[in-house]
Structure 1
Amino acid sequence: MQTDLQAIVSAFLTVLENRTSSDEIELFYHPDASQIEYPNTLTKNLTKRDLKELKAASDRGLKVLQKEKYEVLHSYAYGNTVIIEVVWTGVLTIPLGSIPVGGEMKAYFAQFFEFMDGKIIRQRNYDCFEPFGS
């Protein structure tokens, strides 16, 4: 059975897949939201973002991706937290490593969403990308 918070995360992922502007994601975040992205192939260092920085990162993503898809493998709710395991696929608008324009890159995410007042207040991303060469 899906909780209300899991339904919010599901709706958030749908918006990410279909967004045309970072303004669309703002609806899901608390004004004091923060996100931590742990080091991975694309983000070499631990990165902390506030809502303004999250929106800027979303806008950058829109310039790099033609399309993205989130396939949720598992979703767990505990108190005010939702944890998901996702297979992410992105279709590129630019070449990246050995992936050409229009090619797909794939990653495996574990994401933790903490909620306050029905909005995401804290988000932690553990992203693991498949190799895409240089």
Structure 2
Amino acid sequence: MENKNVELAIEFIKAVSDGKIGEELNNFYDESANQIEYPNLLTKKIVERNLDAIKDASIKGKQVISIQNYEIIKAYSCGNTVIIEAIWTGRLAIPLGKLKAGDEMKAYFAQFFEFRDGKIVKQRNYDCFENFL
């Protein structure tokens, strides 16, 4: 089961990289899903989202980032939890901080996914962005 969850987490990351948003994410998340994003340069405080808020955030994100890519450095599994270490790059659709539309942002992510019955039930994001302010 652990390897299957790693495959599912990588499939999810690829779908997000490919621009899947909103309802297109339903195949990956359980209806009870919960996401926590810890403070970073974009999010100044802990943000907790249910499934509807996760999908809404993905739609809003598409208005800011036109193209994104995750380079998976390592995937770890322990029981029903998968940890993805990745380098994220995104091309801005709008100006942000000192960056112009069309510029690239970069971040180093650690994402923890907890699975139940092949779906994400809990996700924790630790996003370390290169300074764009």
TM range (shorter): over 0.9
Q: Normalising by structure 2, what TM-score?
A: 0.96
- Corresponding position: 1:24 with 2:28: no
| Rounded Cα–Cα distance in structure 1 between residues aligned with 2:89 and 2:128 | 12
Contact 1:63 1:93 in 2 (8 A): yes
| Rounded Cα–Cα distance in structure 2 between residues aligned with 1:23 and 1:14 | 16
- Corresponding position: 1:37 with 2:37: yes
Letter in 1 for 2:27: L
- The secondary structure found in structure 1 opposite 2:30 is strand
How big is the alpha-carbon RMSD for the aligned residues of Structure 1 and Structure 2?
1.1
Contact 2:19 2:68 in 1 (8 A): no
- The secondary structure found in structure 1 opposite 2:25 is helix
- The secondary structure found in structure 2 opposite 1:73 is strand
Q: Which residue of 1 aligns with 2:46?
A: 46
For residues 28-47 of structure 1, what are the alpha-carbon distances to aligned partners after superposition, in whole Å with 9 as ceiling and x for unaligned?
00000000001111000101
What are structure 1's unaligned runs of at least 5 residues? none
Contact 2:89 2:106 in 1 (8 A): yes
Any runs of at least 4 consecutive aligned residues in structure 1 with deviations exceeding 4 A, and if so which? none
**Count of aligned pairs:** 132
Q: Normalising by structure 1, what TM-score?
A: 0.95
Q: Which residue of 1 aligns with 2:103?
A: 103
Contact 1:22 1:56 in 2 (8 A): yes
Taking the TM superposition and a 5 Å limit, the aligned residue runs for 1:1-134 are 3-133=3-133
- The secondary structure found in structure 2 opposite 1:3 is helix
- The secondary structure found in structure 2 opposite 1:131 is coil
Contact 2:109 2:128 in 1 (8 A): yes
| Rounded Cα–Cα distance in structure 2 between residues aligned with 1:21 and 1:108 | 21
For residues 4-61 of structure 1, what are the alpha-carbon distances to aligned partners after superposition, in whole Å with 9 as ceiling and x for unaligned?
1111111101110112531111210000000000111100010100000000000001
Identity among equivalent pairs (%): 49
For residues 104-126 of structure 1, what are the alpha-carbon distances to aligned partners after superposition, in whole Å with 9 as ceiling and x for unaligned?
00001111000011100000000
Choose 94-103 or 13-22, whichever is displaced more. 13-22
What are structure 2's unaligned runs of at least 5 residues? none
1:97 deviation in Å? 1.1
